[in-house]
Amino acid sequence: MNKLLLALQGFEDLGPLQEINMTEEKSDRVEAWLKEDVCPAVEDLINNRTFQSNTLWSASHLSKGAETRERKLLERVDYLLVKLAGQIKTCLPLLDQPTLTEFQLNSIEFMAEKPWFDLVNTEDFVLPTQCLMLNIPNKQHTLNFRKFKQIKTPGDHVCDSMFARIDYWKKFLEQISRVCFRSKSIDNVQCKKEFSSLMYCMGQLDPLIEDLKKACLKPKQKKLRDACVTLSLVYLSYADNPEADWLLRDSSEAEVISQRFRGNAVRPLGEILHVEKRPNGSFVLIKKETALLCIPSAIRKIAQALTDVKTIYEVPDDPDDLIDWACSHARLVLVDHSPRQVFWDGERIESGWDTHPVPWNLLWILASNPGIAVDQGMLSNPKKQSIRSRRDRLKDLLERFDVVNQLIKTVRGQGYRLELDRNNIILLESTGLGCLEIIPTRNASRNFP
């Protein structure tokens, strides 16, 4: 039995975990399980590239400076939030007796100047910081945001907190926008123009946020990211000598993370309530006792994380399961089996690949040789059709997925090159026996996203 299954068995041995039956003794057993069973299982994963990339995904894809589609979508959302606030500010003088509070009026002025550094905070990695990343302190908004519902069980809080900030500002602006439309009284050309602009801003924002959610919250990928972040934090907090140079800037950070994670997410200071049952069936409180108790929901989340990373431990045999596994491990997946399939970020690129063998061959050769120039001689039937015409046809087939087209670069005098890291590509080929096998890609001398 591998270490992962041993850790899951250890969780079962702990018995039911509920707030009502949590004691210090049981909390000690839980922490012993984290140290003695979970950490050894995570240690087998800590140098796994897939585990590392999922742990760091939000920081590497969403932080300021990231050249990713997700970051570009976020910056567009950021821009529209400020633009919407500015448009509301323009509409305020056109209202008839608006029922806005002084706080709301001041907040529109505040938001129109873009008061936040960013909507992403990498310090949310351990726990939600519940801060709005403001340039200028604003006590009321800070307090309001802290009351905003945020999930605190272990997971990918960098991503979750980003959406919490977006949701907070969006709901605030929507509330004021509704007041503006109810209080509109002036009915001249200028008024109609400004309120049309306000409606346009609101109409742009919702679809863009949905696009960002689709990019960041694909269920399988998000579940795996939550699991990898959770288990990384357990490892850093409970392993004797955690080694994770890819995650920490220096070793002293592990102790800081351990204190925050253990003291807030796993076993914070709490109370044991001693009660006595009355003859009528009700309970009366006898006394309260301060204690350090594990949070059952957090422990269950850690156990679920172990289950969710099984795909990293073992590669499935069933073809459909293998394709799902590949899509959760790589951005570009090609399946050379009837029907031929192409996936990008888990989404199938429907282009009837079986009826287009020539552009399919070009895409397969590019994906087999990432970072390497592919010329005419590397293709099947090289004299049948020029590489340029094959590329033009492939461009048409990938029209809905322009991000993939953008990764295929022209190499003057040679051909084309796919600028994508080999770890983000999985090629699956039929064995002829109803199964699929993973085909290795060539290792390029350059690193790509």
Domain membership flag for residue 49: no
Do 382 and 347 lie in a common domain?
Answer: yes
What is the distance between the alpha carbons of residues 77 and 74, in angstroms, rounded to a whole number?
A: 5
Residue-level pLDDT at 447: 44
Pair of tokens at residue 349: 């690129």
Q: Which of 242, 239, 233, 241 is nearest to 261 (CA)?
A: 233
pLDDT confidence of residue 445: 40
pLDDT band per the 50, 70, 90 thresholds, residue 333 = very high
| DSSP three-state, residue 427 | strand
Is residue 446 in some structural domain?
no
pTM tops 0.85, yes or no = no
Q: Under the phi-then-psi rule, with left for phi > 0, alpha for psi from -120 to 50, and beta for the rest, what region is 42?
A: alpha
Distance CA 260, CA 131 (A): 16
Which of 311, 335, 355 is where one domain is finished? Answer: 311
Angle at 34 between CA 30 and CA 40, to 5 degrees: 150
Instruction: Assess if residue 53 is contained within a domain.
Output: no
Tokens of 58: 């939000």
- 3-state class percentages of the chain: helix first, strand second, coil last, to nearest 5: 55, 10, 30
Q: What is the pLDDT of residue 163?
A: 97
Same-domain pairing of 206 and 322: no
Task: Check residue 441 and give its pLDDT.
Answer: 78
Residue 64 predicted with pLDDT over 70:
yes
Here the tokens at position 55 are 């742990």
Looking at the fold, whether 102 and 176 belong to one and the same domain comes out as yes
Quick one: what percent of the chain has pLDDT higher than 90?
A: 53
Q: How many C-beta atoms lie closer than 10 Å to residue 65's C-beta?
A: 5
N residues, the chain: 449
Which CATH number characterizes residue 392's domain? Answer: 1.10.10.10
Structural domain for 126, as ranges = 59-217
Most confident of 286-300, 302-316, 406-420: 406-420
Q: Kindly state the tokens that stand for 395.
A: 């461009």
Query: How many domains is the chain built from?
Result: 3
Q: Judge whether 447 lies within some domain.
A: no
How many C-beta atoms surround the C-beta of residue 299 within 10 A? 23
- The mean pLDDT value of the chain amounts to 87
Residue 449 has pLDDT above 60, yes or no: no
Cis peptide before 339 (omega within 30 of 0): yes
Residues 35 and 107 both lie in one domain: no
Range from 151-165, 281-295, 297-311 carrying the lowest mean pLDDT: 281-295
> For the residues 399-409, what does the mean pLDDT come to?
91
pLDDT at 353: 92
23 contacts 272 by C-beta, under 8 angstroms = yes
Number of Cβ within 10 Å of residue 165's Cβ equals 24
Residues 28 and 72 in one domain: no
> Domain check: are 161 and 66 in the same one?
yes
User: Tell me, what's the pLDDT at 18?
Assistant: 82
pLDDT in tens, 296-311: 999 999 999 999 998 7
Residues 138 and 267 in one domain: no
Determine the average pLDDT of the residues in 168-191: 84
Q: Are residues 269 and 235 in the same domain?
A: yes
Residue 166 lies in a domain: yes
- Single out the residue in 153, 182, 217 at which a domain terminates: 217
Boundary (domain end) residue, out of 288, 311, 334: 311
Q: Which range (198-212, 256-270, 317-331, 431-445) has the least confidence? A: 431-445
**Residues 140 and 271 both lie in one domain:** no
* 339, 306: one domain: no
Other C-beta atoms within 10 Å of 276: how many?
A: 9
Domain match, 294 and 207 both: no
Beta bridge partners of 427: 334, 439
Model confidence pLDDT, tens digit, residues 84-115: 999 999 888 888 766 788 999 999 999 999 99
Q: Are 354 and 266 in the same domain? A: no
Residue 444 lies in a domain: no
50 in any annotated domain: no
Copy the structure tokens of residue 116.
């936040």
Domain membership flag for residue 286: yes
